[in-house]
Amino acid sequence: MCLAIPTRVVELLPDQQALVELGGVRKVVSLELVDGVQPGDYVIVHVGYALTRLDPEEAEQTLALMREAGVTGDEPFERVS
């Protein structure tokens, strides 16, 4: 089973990449599939790619449901220095 996770964009990076954060864990992901992303936006991330932008309210609702279910979303991410 695969899981796409809502994450917040912290910083735009060169080469269509962004630094995203979820639960204090940060990861660099590709923005090649999504246009117009800005810092503070939420994106759905799967296998290192942002798939789509997400409404902030919808992102918060999804993250709240994940917390209720005991799924934090931190496990698939590696810490970035």
pTM of the model: 0.76
**Residue with token string 């220095």:** 81
Number of structural domains in the chain: 1
Is residue 17 situated within a structural domain?
yes
Three-state SS letters, 18-44: EEEEECCEEEEEECCCCCCCCCCCEEE
Is residue 59 situated within a structural domain?
yes
**β-bridge mates for residue 42, sequence order:** 8, 54
Is residue 20 situated within a structural domain?
yes
Residue 53 lies in domain: 5-68
Task: List the chain pLDDT tens, one digit each, 81 residues.
Answer: 466 788 999 999 999 999 999 888 899 999 999 999 999 999 999 889 999 998 888 888 888 887 788 765 544 444 444
Is residue 54 situated within a structural domain?
yes
